[in-house]
Structure formats: C-alpha cells, structure tokens
C-alpha cells in the first residue's frame, strides 16, 4: 500500500487557502479582476514571508463572490483531498470572506458549501466546518464571526477557531468571542506557537480555553510546556510542510514533530494551505517517512489521535473509524 492509498484525517485546513491557483486566476479573469500580482512566473502563489502570505491569501479570496463560487471551491478542494486519501477533513471557514460577516449572507454561503460537501461524500470524504475569526481583523470582527458560528452550529459547523497574524493583539482580546462559541456548544481551537513562541500557546490555553492548538510546534522550546501538553492531552494540529515552506524550520528533518510525539504530546498532521506550500497529505506522509523513518503504523497511530480529537458527532466518528479500520483489514 502506498501512502496515497492510506486513509487520512486532516484537522487543520483553510478552505480558501486550498484554492488551486488556476481556479483563482480563471475566476478572477471571468469577473474582470486583476490579481496577477499574487502569482509568480510559473503561475504559483508568490510571497516572501508570512505577512505577505496573509496579503496574498486575502487577495486570492476576492474572486469568490457568491455562494455558487464557494460551492465550486468546496467541490474542487474536496475532490483533491479525496484524491490524496483524505477521508475526513475539518476546514476553517471564515464569514469575513463569505458575505462580510452578514448573518443572512453567511447562511447562504454555508448552505452552498454544505451541499457541495454532501455531494463529495460519494468520493469517500466527509467534511466538517470550523468557523474561524481572523485575528488581525480585530476583536469586534471576531465577535461578529462568533455570532455567525453560534447561529449555524450543528452537525456541519462543529467548531470555532482563530487564525491570521499571531502577533496581532492578545488572546485575551478574543475571549468574549470564544465564550460565545463555547456557549453554543462549539469545540475550540486557535492558531498559536507558529510565529508566537511558547507563551502564545499558554495564552491561548489560558484565555481561550481551547482543546486543540493550531500548529503549536514552538512548544518544543519550553520543556515544561511540552510536559503540560502531554499531561493534559491538548492536541496539536501540526502542519510540517507549511512550517518548512514559511521558514519556521529550515528542513523537514529539523521539524520538532517527532520530538513532540516522543515526549507524549498528541500530534496530528495536516496541510494548512496546500497549494501555497506545494503539498498535499501524500507529500506530508512521504516527507515525514523520509525524515523520521515513520511507517504505516505510525501514521495509523496519528490518525487515531486525530479521530479522537475531531470536532464531529459520534455518528460521524463511527463512520470515519470504519473507513480507517477498513484499511487495516
């Protein structure tokens, strides 16, 4: 069995960040938008550093102006993920880009994404959404995003998160939004410990009371924090290819995911924004196998961690477990 054939669970994934560059170019051309500056000579996304990456990301969302556009995006992204063997995907969805956080518009966009996700079940992939506030848009925008999440919480929208520039504001600024989401029964995650150091992880845990951390890899710089994560069972949504592509670590071999795992921290593997980082889940597995000697049993163990940590209902969890166990049979 190749790693492509191995069923995979992915917990850290941005829907717009998974848009193929060709799709973005074609949609921009059809709408008369000039966003040519975000691509390099080969047609790939072009950025120098993380802050420019955020700018390019937001520019790439501009051609997606309607629920139908998001239905198409969802269908294409899920098709590509299924091709890489993903059987369960949690994707970060931002009302900021889906009607400007207007609750009525958000419902229309969401319905289009749900319909596309339901159709993709025929490919053997299930998707759930995590409504995600954009940190550098500020706390008030996050409250509006949390209100959208609260009003659409259910079997598809199962989580709430925080993404964007980790150095914008402080986690405490977003506590109200997270309280709103928690009261609506949503599960919680937040990006931390990628560009912020170990303290950013502590702050997210303290002020936002999350059960998962997006990235979280810089915990490795604080042995006490590593022990705390291992003892409390906080799950890290690790995206090695993203970290290497953005220069958080110079190579796959120097990435701390193996050391974190060996220390007892619960880690999972995801792509983050696959076309931005020239990756998919097959490449993530291939590179980790090359760097650390991991074999199918290691990835199966990672998937069990991810299944336990997934923000889904029991019915969905049982279905995904069947898909994983079917591969082991």
Does residue 30 fall inside a structural domain? no
Q: What is the CATH number of the domain that holds 244?
A: 3.20.20.140
Does residue 270 fall inside a structural domain? yes
Q: Per the residue annotation, which of 144, 166, 194, 284 is the catalytic one?
A: 194
- The Cα–Cα gap between 69 and 112 comes to 9
Q: What is the pLDDT of residue 146?
A: 98
Does residue 54 fall inside a structural domain? no
Does residue 118 fall inside a structural domain? yes
Does residue 43 fall inside a structural domain? no
Q: In what order do the strands lie in the sheet with 157-163?
A: 8-10, 86-93, 126-134, 157-163, 187-192, 212-215, 235-238, 266-269
Q: What is the pLDDT of residue 87?
A: 98
Q: What is the pLDDT of residue 329?
A: 47
Q: Which stretches in the chain have pLDDT values below 70? A: 1, 327-329
**Domain of 124, in residue numbers:** 3-19+64-328
Alpha helices for 121-255 (secondary structure H): 139-152, 175-183, 198-203, 223-232, 240-245
Does residue 36 fall inside a structural domain? no
**pTM listed for this prediction:** 0.97
**Tally of structural domains, the chain:** 1
Does residue 49 fall inside a structural domain? no
Q: Can 108 be counted among the known catalytic residues?
A: no
- The Cα–Cα gap between 171 and 207 comes to 6
Does residue 142 fall inside a structural domain? yes
Q: What is the pLDDT of residue 2?
A: 81
């Amino acid at each position: 069995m190749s790693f492509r054939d191995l069923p995979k669970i992915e917990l850290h994934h941005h829907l717009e960040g998974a848009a193929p560059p060709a799709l973005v170019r074609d949609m921009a051309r059809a709408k008369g938008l000039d966003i040519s500056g975000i691509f390099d000579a080969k047609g790939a996304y072009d950025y120098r550093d993380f802050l420019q990456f955020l700018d390019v990301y937001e520019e790439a969302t501009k051609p997606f102006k309607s629920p139908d556009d998001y239905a198409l995006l969802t269908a294409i992204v899920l098709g590509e993920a299924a091709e890489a063997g993903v059987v369960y995907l949690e994707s970060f969805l931002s009302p900021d880009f889906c009607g400007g956080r207007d609750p009525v518009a958000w419902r229309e966009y969401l319905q289009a994404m749900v319909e596309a996700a339901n159709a993709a079940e025929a490919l053997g992939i299930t998707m759930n959404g995590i409504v995600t506030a954009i940190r550098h848009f500020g706390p008030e925008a996050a409250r509006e995003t949390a209100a959208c999440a609260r009003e659409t919480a259910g079997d598809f929208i199962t989580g709430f998160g925080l993404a964007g520039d980790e150095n914008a504001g402080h986690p405490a600024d977003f506590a109200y939004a997270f309280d709103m989401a928690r009261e609506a029964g949503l599960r919680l995650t937040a990006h931390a410990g990628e560009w912020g150091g170990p303290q950013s992880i502590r702050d997210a845990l303290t002020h936002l009371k999350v059960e998962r951390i997006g990235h979280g890899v810089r915990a490795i710089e604080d042995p006490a924090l590593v022990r705390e994560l291992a003892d409390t069972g906080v799950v890290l949504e690790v995206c090695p290819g993203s970290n290497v592509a953005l220069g958080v670590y110079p190579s796959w071999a120097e990435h701390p995911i193996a050391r974190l795992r060996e220390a007892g921290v619960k880690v999972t593997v995801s792509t983050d924004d696959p076309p931005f980082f020239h990756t998919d889940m097959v490449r993530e597995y291939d590179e980790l196998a090359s760097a650390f000697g991991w074999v199918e049993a290691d990835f199966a163990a990672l998937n069990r961690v991810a299944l336990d940590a997934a923000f889904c209902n029991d019915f969905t969890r049982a279905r995904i477990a069947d898909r994983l166990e079917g591969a082991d049979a």
